[in-house]
Amino acid sequence: MGFLFSFFCFLPYEAWSAVCPLVAKLKRFYEFSLRLENALRSLLEALTCPPYPPTQHLEREQALAKQFAEILHFTLSFDELKMTNPAIQNDFSYYRRTISRNRINNLQLDAESEVNNEMANRMSLFYAEATPMLKTLSNATTKFVSENKTLPIEDTTDCLSTMACVCRVMLETPEYRSRFTNTETLLFCMRVMVGVIILYDHVHPVGAFAKTSKIDMKGCIKVLKDQPSTSTEGLLNALRYTTRHLNDDTTSKQIRALLQ
Ligand SMILES: *[C@@H]1O[C@H](CO)[C@@H](O)[C@H](O)[C@H]1NC(C)=O
Ligand SMILES: *[C@@H]1O[C@H](CO)[C@@H](O)[C@H](O)[C@H]1NC(C)=O
């Protein structure tokens, strides 16, 4: 009887049963991020390492470049949703509080066998990031570059800047623009452009905003601002808040002003 009493006191059953499926879903996305990390590494390897010279990779391996673009698109969409749903973290904290209280009371609930305390701790670190999926990709890219010391860093950053350039030109040029039949394809192109810019900025020693950068940042920001889509603001915020070098002295006043 005492057991039941404490059970109902400490565990509002409805809240718990609503949170469990959500936590299971969060776990699936967390595990997906680990797979994404490995997939990105193989993709970067294929897109930067021999046999082709760096300038030919994207052309010769268009299917892989498309996969990379799909990953970036997913990543930016996921993080956008995560940022606009602060309830995710509240619900997850509730879950963690509940399982740690249960441990004190020596209770174990079914759901815990799926997301135990250790897994919950790892997931909590992941969801504490403002943009967890993007952070996963930039970590993986940085790691890839530092592990392959024989591979010049430019081979990776050139691949990223070329992709940014392709996207910008597609968005700027009326002939290409007219082929974007719906806003989804337009958004796809914008997200991929912003994704590669952010990765470039994390991996390149001086980043994407410096004068020596191979990305035409002014052009990219302008083309984003010219789009009618409502998602533009989120993407501009991604450039403002998830890049590393925007506030460096090497960033021109013009670029700063464009992002204000
Ligand atoms: C990224 O790497 C840092 C430093 O190694 C680590 O603390 C952080 O948890 C990683 N984040 C993700 C999402 O992988
Ligand atoms: C890059 O690193 C990965 C693992 O860290 C390795 O398998 C691969 O062979 C390396 N590639 C080059 C070109 O060094």
**Alpha carbons 201 and 164: distance in angstroms, whole number:** 12
Any ligand 1 atom below 6 A from CB of 37: no
The residue among 94 and 113 whose pLDDT is bigger is 94
Ligand 1 centre to CA of 226 (Å) is 34
Q: Which residue has the tokens 């997850």?
A: 92
pTM for this structure?
0.84
The rounded distance, in Å, linking the Cα atoms of 79 and 62 is 26
Q: Which atom of ligand 2 is nearest to the CA of 48?
A: 13
Q: Tell the residue nearest (CA) to atom 14 of ligand 1.
A: 136
| pLDDT value at residue 179 | 75
Q: What's residue 178's pLDDT?
A: 76
Q: What is the pLDDT of residues 163-182, one digit of tens each?
A: 999 999 999 988 887 777 77
148 lines ligand 1 (CB under 6 A): no
The residue to which tokens 């010391």 are assigned: 149
| CA gap 33, 257 in Å, rounded | 34
Q: What pLDDT is attached to residue 55? A: 66
Q: Is 206 helix (H, G, I), strand (E, B) or coil?
A: coil
pLDDT band at 3 (very low <50, low <70, confident <90, very high): very low
pLDDT at 49 over 90: no
CA of 136 to the centre of ligand 1 (A): 7
Question: Could you say which ligand is closest to the alpha carbon of residue 128?
Answer: 1
Give the Cα separation of 146 and 45 in Å (integer): 13
Look over the chain and give the mean of its residue pLDDT values, rounded to a whole number: 85
Q: Whose CA is nearest to atom 13 of ligand 1?
A: 136
| Residue minimizing CA distance to atom 4 of ligand 1 | 139
Q: In the chain, what's the furthest Cα-to-Cα distance?
A: 74
